[in-house]
Chain A
Amino acid sequence: MRMTAERSASAFFLFMLREANWKDRLLYAIGKRRAFHVQGSSMSPTFKDGDVVMIVRQRYFEPGDIVLAQHPYKQSVNMLKRVTAIDENGRYSLAGDNPDESTDSRTFGTVPPDQIRGKVICRLK
């Protein structure tokens, strides 16, 4: 479902990420999920540097989702950001939960859907 929304970053902190369960770990083991090491503090306090998160591929995302996106100017860089809005062209606005230490859509603009590689569904560590 596509929708347009604006939410303040503080409201997102209400969204709590669950811990990985046996089913997530099983799906990871058979290659249906991917795990990533978090580096940096732009998603603090949701994630700390050193956390490990699990990603699932999907086509559409909603405001509030934490996603793994390709950096618009550095193709080899995967970044972890939160979707804050979706515009009428289906492009995503991304922001860090810690705006003082985040480079995000305020700097590089909106991101097309094909640059979003998956959604964070749980925390492994």
Chain B
Amino acid sequence: MFDKWRNADLEIAEAHCDGPCGVYDPSQARIEAESVLQLTKKILDLKAPDGGDQKASAAYQNTLTRFIAIKEDRAELAKHHLLVLWTDYFKPQHLETYPDLHELFWKSAKLCSSCKQEVSLEHAQELMDNIKRVHEIFWETKGKDVPWFTAS
């Protein structure tokens, strides 16, 4: 009788965060922002075909459209990963140490939008620079020395 609870189908008391794994990493945003930077370079380097070669024109349009579509998607993903870090990982006590944190994330999210609207190497690089700063702050809050690196 005193051990009745052992055979009971117990209810669950949740003791975790909304992302129950508790795993966050600015690398997700960095990878997407790197794609945006590389695609911006590719769009700017892409040469339009001369004359009335319809086949070459179609290939050019296809490639350009793909570059634009992927840049759009990756910029949106970069924004998503930044917003998850901003709203879920960072807490009010982090603002005491890093008072520019809100400004950093707000400007970074806006840069993601700029990278979709424009073909701007300057803004794509600025987004990478901001994510590098997010990386530095994030790992400082974790007490870990994780060097910044890029895949490209």
A residues with a Cβ closer than 8 A to B are 22, 25-26, 28-29, 34-43, 47, 49, 52-53, 55, 68, 71, 77-81, 96, 99-103, 106-107, 124
Number of interface residues of B (CB under 8 A): 21
Closest Cβ of chain A to B140, distance in Å, is 14
B residues with a Cβ closer than 8 A to A are 1-5, 8, 10-18, 20, 22, 88, 91-93
How many A-B pairs fall under 8 Å by CB? Answer: 85
Chain A residues, Cβ within 8 Å of B22: 41, 100-101
B16 touches A34 (CB 8 A): no
Between A and B, 20 residue pairs with Cβ closer than 8 Å are: A25-B3, A25-B5, A29-B4, A35-B8, A35-B10, A36-B10, A37-B10, A39-B12, A39-B16, A40-B20, A41-B15, A41-B16, A49-B15, A52-B10, A53-B13, A80-B15, A81-B15, A103-B18, A106-B91, A107-B18
Residue of B nearest to A26 (CB): B2
B10 touches A39 (CB 8 A): no
Residue of B nearest to A24 (CB): B2
Chain A residues, Cβ within 8 Å of B5: 25, 28, 35, 52, 124
Most-contacted residue by chain B among A36, A53, A81 (CB, 10 A): A36
> Chain B's interface: helix, strand, loop or mixed, by majority?
loop
Chain A residues, Cβ within 8 Å of B20: 40
Contact of B12 among A28, A36, A81, A106 (CB under 8 A): A36
A68 touches B92 (CB 8 A): no
Chain A residues, Cβ within 8 Å of B14: 39-40, 71, 77-80
Known A26-B1, A42-B15; 12 more pairs at CB < 8 Å: A25-B2, A25-B5, A26-B2, A29-B1, A36-B11, A39-B13, A40-B17, A77-B14, A78-B13, A96-B15, A102-B17, A103-B17
Chain B residues, Cβ within 8 Å of A53: 13
B18 touches A79 (CB 8 A): no
Chain B residues, Cβ within 8 Å of A99: 91, 93
Closest Cβ of chain A to B115, distance in Å, is 29
Chain B residues, Cβ within 8 Å of A42: 15-17
